[in-house]
């Protein structure tokens, strides 16, 4: 579940407190969108820093907030959202929360498949890994 976000008085995006009466995050200008995405990158960097310091709960919280911002700014089917999903899922996996990580990995895979289904290159399964398969010339496909 996504954390509701609000635009603070300082102009930064932050999670909405349960009891705080404030407006939901509405990014009207390109500048606000870029500021929110910068906040997501900053939170993601903090998550990595906390992970290196052994602060698992803080790392997960920062990565979850970065995911929530990215998803609200870019939409649920953007490739960058898939990257954020992978980051949170990787943290869950490292912290032995495999059951929480699995649906995030699946969702990230679904986003990539959807994004690439309209692209001239498609994924193929090879040795248990997804790889990009280049288009074949029309004469090879026909034979």
pLDDT tens per residue across span 48-78: 999 999 999 999 999 999 999 999 999 999 9
CA distances from 132 to 39, 84, 138, 139 (A): 31, 20, 18, 20
Q: How far apart are CA 63 and CA 48, in angstroms?
A: 8
**Do the beta carbons of residue 49 and residue 92 sit within 8 Å?**
no
Name 7's bridge partners. 13
Which of the residue ranges 14-28, 36-50, 115-129 has the most confident prediction, judged by mean pLDDT?
36-50
Is the pTM of the predicted complex or chain greater than 0.95? no
pLDDT tens per residue across span 86-133: 999 999 999 999 999 999 999 999 998 888 765 555 556 666 665 666
**Who has greater pLDDT, 44 or 23?**
44
- Residue 59 has a pLDDT of 96
**Do the beta carbons of residue 59 and residue 94 sit within 8 Å?**
no
Q: Which two tokens stand for residue 36?
A: 């929110």
- Residue 140 has a pLDDT of 45
- Residue 44 has a pLDDT of 96
CA angle 93, 98, 101 (to 5 degrees): 75
């Amino acid at each position: 579940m996504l954390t509701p976000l609000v635009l603070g008085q300082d102009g930064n995006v932050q999670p909405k407190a349960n009891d705080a009466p404030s407006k939901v995050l509405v990014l009207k200008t390109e500048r606000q969108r870029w500021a929110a995405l910068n906040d997501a990158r900053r939170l993601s960097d903090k998550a990595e820093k906390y992970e290196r310091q052994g602060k698992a709960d803080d790392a997960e919280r920062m990565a979850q907030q970065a995911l929530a911002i990215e998803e609200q700014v870019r939409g649920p089917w953007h490739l960058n959202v898939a990257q954020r999903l992978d980051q949170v899922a990787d943290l869950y996996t490292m912290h032995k929360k495999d059951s929480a990580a699995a649906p995030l990995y699946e969702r990230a895979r679904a986003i990539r498949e959807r994004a690439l289904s309209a692209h001239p290159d498609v994924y193929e399964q090879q040795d248990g890994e997804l790889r990009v398969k280049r288009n074949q010339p029309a004469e090879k496909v026909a034979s």
